[in-house]
Amino acid sequence: DSGVTQTPKHLITATGQRVTLRCSPRSGDLSVYWYQQSLDQGLQFLIQYYNGEERAKGNILERFSAQQFPDLHSELNLSSLELGDSALYFCASSVAASGLSTDTQYFGPGTRLTVL
Amino acid sequence: AQSVTQLGSHVSVSEGALVLLRCNYSSSVPPYLFWYVQYPNQGLQLLLKYTTGATLVKGINGFEAEFKKSETSFHLTKPSAHMSDAAEYFCAVSDRNADGLTFGKGTHLIIQP
């Protein structure tokens, strides 16, 4: 158990809909990262937040957005869903602020999103 | 831009045999390198990482990896495979200016009894 929790475990929805994925980082970790794992694209970094502020962006679509709240939990919002958005979405956390990329990222168990 | 190439999407070894999973990277700056393992229906777990210093890095579960700058490689090895090692293994790179990890496509390790 990494100490990172994600809810829900599974999510099934229809095209065009909007969903919210939730992540609680390990106690004491200030950085939260979101990754998408799909069969065709593999594991891709989406976005990072540090202590409530966006710090880095990866291959995140404009239909996707995220935020980190004062209690440090984070939410990933996916809107206007398409079939291709079906994937496993991971959240990871670390102590690190931007620039300390040596710190280990601890991954949650993931949320499996199925878009029908 | 950085990238990671893992040679072999599937590797099969006999129990007790040497495990060798290959990883090559490209990075415009000295990289930080990581190996993660993913068991079925679970998240990723860090096996080991290289940041600076000694190029031979020891990790959990008997795994180790050697950073070879001249070959831009970071291959993962284990002297003797165990059935419990069957999983998906990911090599990842991070440069000093980015915080998200860039992952390889992964190698599925199969252990034959």
Q: Which residues from A are below 8 Å from B when comparing CB atoms?
A: 2, 4, 31, 33, 35, 42-48, 55-56, 58, 90, 92, 96, 98-99, 101-102, 104-110
CA nearest B24: which of B71, B86, B80? B71
Is B31 an interface residue toward A (CB < 8 Å)? no
pLDDT digit string (tens) for A31-42? 999 999 998 889
Give me the pLDDT at residue A98, please. Answer: 54
User: Measured between CB atoms, which of A4, A42, A58 is closest to B100?
Assistant: A58
CA nearest B104: which of B75, B64, B67, B68? B75
Give me the pLDDT at residue B2, please. Answer: 82
Mean pLDDT check: name the lowest of A32-46, A93-107, B83-97. A93-107
Specify whether the CB–CB gap between A38 and A88 falls below 8 A: yes
Under an 8 A CB cutoff, do A2 and B105 touch? no
The pLDDT-based confidence of B99 (bands split at 50, 70, 90) is: low
Overall size of chain A counted in residues: 116
Under an 8 A CB cutoff, do B43 and A2 touch? yes
Specify whether the CB–CB gap between A44 and A58 falls below 8 A: yes
Which residue does chain A place closest to B48, by CA atoms?
A104
**CB burial of residue B40 (10 Å; 0-12, 13-18, 19+):** exposed
In sequence order, which residues have a C-beta less than 8 Å from that of residue A106 and are 6 or more positions away?
A2, A3, A4, A26, A29, A92, A93, A94, B46
